[in-house]
Chain A
Amino acid sequence: MVALDKIIRLASGGQFDSSGPDIYSRPIDLNKVKILGEGTKHDTCASTASKRKVGESDGRIGDVMRSGICHAFAPDGRCVSLFKTLFTNACQHNCAYCPNSTKSSGSGIAAYTPEELARITLQLYRANTVEGLFLSSGVAGDETRMMEQMLEAVELLRHKYNFMGYIHLKILPGASRDHIKRAAELVDRVSLNVETPSKSFMHELSSTKDFEVDILRRQKYIRDAVSKDTLPAGQTTQYVVGAAGESDREIFTRMLYEYNVLGLKRQYFSSFIAVDGTPLHNMKSQPRWRENRLYQADWLHRIYGYHRKEMELAFDDEGFIGNRDPKWAIAMNILDGPLDPNIATREELLRVPGIGPKSAYRIVNLRKKEKITRKVQLKALGVRVGHARTFLKLDGWCDSTLKGWM
């Protein structure tokens, strides 16, 4: 504990000053912030967790958090943790679902300068409203010029303003290998949206994007740019779910390829919403639960370690999960009867609805000391007993009914 006077003296001396050039000197065009922010509102990636460590004594702005932080939640309940914006909303591509495509640009066209974008990011960061920047863009002119400007904004942040906070940069379809390498050295995470599970679906939505050349090949470039010193938060992608009539199984099959072959860290889903002024404005929007069910399937595969064959049980004959918990659907198929939590393996416990990795871990550890015979014990370990009780046998008894197993 020190006196306030000492703090004033130290701060006024300026020997620890990290603030860099003045970021408040020029006014901000709020209309631009609105237009270019709206351009990304359907992009769902919000994670800010990064393995990168910022040196404590180097005096730069912006510790990154290993766990990430949500600074607010949008009215739809989604985390708002990054200044998510387009560099420009002008775009030469004609993606039928996208309000920024050339065929549907109704609202005003806007673009930042790299300097302007860097200053706005820092103002929001210093207000503790965001963890960093999520920078995407329409492709105005050509992707080389756009990538160059986006990278210039990131370089200004990193080098001129000493900003070491989290940055997620979108790689534009068709971007060069050199730009991808440069991005990998500067940011925490990059992503390139596949949007659809295959070339044929992409063809239905856009005639200007080549799925294999502009997207898959670039994802391979990104995979090759990842090393222990670059891209600590890896590569991700996103799907616009249901815009091209694809099934959940088709999306899941693409997901596996993206994880296993391209080494993606995470994949995001955004249910298709028919936007006025786009060629698909008359198409029916997809329900929100569809993306939620896909997230659950992704979670089961990635975190719970479900195999491909098990996951197949979550899909109906037409390849859709439907509005039901995939874990429940799989459990009804693979579990022959109620499990005794005192003898079930961790893997078996993980297949019981209501038991997650943490509660399974706790069960396995508790039973070394005491026998689990009551629901209240399970509740204390974090098990969602209402979900799990049908599948568990406690002290020889279970709550399952014949109907429950039909």
Chain B
Amino acid sequence: MNSVPNNFLGALKRHADCTETILKKASLLDRDDIEFSTDAEIIGIRKMINSVLGENHMMKAFVRLKPQGGKVLYGYMRPEHDVWTLVGRFFAKRFPGTVIVLGNNTRSHVFLYGGDVLNHSRAGSLSKTLKELEEAMGKSTAENPDELWDTYYWSQYRREAKNTRYFKQNMRAKYVRETGITAETDSGGTKLEDFY
């Protein structure tokens, strides 16, 4: 179980099912109340906070970025909660000066970090935003990070230690779906080489 952060209201607000009533109730509590309480309603609030924090972490872990030209990295995500700016800020700070585009077929968010300032813009679908960026900044086609990752990922496969239960426990279907990752998803199945 995670610890409840001091700014837990900020996380709670991002939950897809958070209402004014829940926020009002939570605003009367302090961090310790939420951390230690055994009251069912407060436990529910704790679960909501943990769900947001968990999704934020998993998006940072599983969203795969692809280059479009030298100055744009983009990735697919469809989170349940409103964690867009948390994840975007993380990537933008990790790659200062690079435009980060996160999105799906209905919406996208664009981030750029530099000179201690985070610039953030909301836009339409991911493909539409990428097209706009391509027109303005160009695109190169030689890169295929999927192939490199696929080769490396499978080089770590230890047939003798295969454990589908651990795998599914750690790579939860919800997050695989929300980030659209593919290289790892057939890990639970049997490969031809398993028979040799």
> Which residues of chain A have a CB within 8 Å of any CB of chain B?
1-4, 6-8, 10-12, 14-19, 22, 24, 28, 30, 33-38, 40-42, 56-57, 59-63, 69-80, 83-85, 120, 123-124, 126-129, 273, 285, 288, 358-359, 362, 365-366, 369-370, 376-377, 380-382
Contact = CB atoms under 8 A, between A and B. Distances in A.
A285 B159 CA distance: 13
Contacts of A41: 155-158
A17 B97 contact: yes
B63 interface: yes
Interface string B148-180: 110111111110111111110111000000000
A35 to B, nearest CB: 8
22 contacts: A7-B119, A10-B112, A18-B96, A24-B142, A33-B151, A33-B152, A37-B155, A59-B114, A63-B94, A72-B153, A73-B166, A74-B157, A77-B165, A85-B152, A126-B65, A127-B66, A128-B75, A129-B64, A273-B158, A366-B38, A376-B38, A380-B43
A131 to B, nearest CB: 9
Interface in B129-151: 129, 132-133, 136-137, 140, 142-143, 145, 147-149, 151
B64, B95, B99, B188 interface centre (most CB from chain A within 10 Å): B95
B186 to A, nearest CB: 9
B160 A30 contact: no
B71 interface: yes
Contacts of B57: 69
B25 interface: no
B35 interface: yes
Nearest to A14: B97
Contacts of B136: 8, 12
A6 B123 CA distance: 13
A63 B96 CA distance: 10
Contacts of A382: 1
B36 A77 contact: no
Given A15-B114, A128-B75, A3 B61 contact: no
B125 to A, nearest CB: 13
B97 A11 contact: yes
A28 B148 contact: yes
Nearest to B154: A34
Contacts of A34: 151-152, 154-155
A120 B152 CA distance: 10
B17 interface: no
Contact of B123 (A4, A35, A85): A4
Contacts of B151: 30, 33-34, 37
B116 A19 contact: no
CB-CB nearest 7 A-B residue pairs: A77-B166, A16-B114, A37-B155, A16-B97, A76-B161, A127-B145, A75-B187
Nearest to B75: A128
Interface string B54-73: 00010011111111001111
A80 B152 CA distance: 10
Contacts of A56: 93, 116
Interface of B: 1, 3, 32, 35-38, 43, 57, 60-67, 70-73, 75, 90-91, 93-99, 110-116, 119-123, 129, 132-133, 136-137, 140, 142-143, 145, 147-149, 151-158, 160-167, 169-171, 181, 183-184, 187-188
A370 B147 CA distance: 57
Contact of B169 (A37, A72, A77): A77
A128 B38 contact: no
A74 B166 CA distance: 9
Nearest to B99: A11
A7 B112 contact: yes
A127 to B, nearest CB: 4
Nearest to A62: B94
A147 B35 CA distance: 48
Contacts of A12: 71, 136-137
B157 A6 contact: no
Contacts of A78: 156, 161, 166
A370 B36 CA distance: 11
B93 A63 contact: yes
A120 B148 contact: yes
A358 B3 contact: yes
A254 B65 CA distance: 43
Given A18-B97, A75-B164, A358-B3, A1 B187 contact: no
A16 B113 contact: yes
A54 to B, nearest CB: 9
B132 to A, nearest CB: 7
B137 A358 contact: no
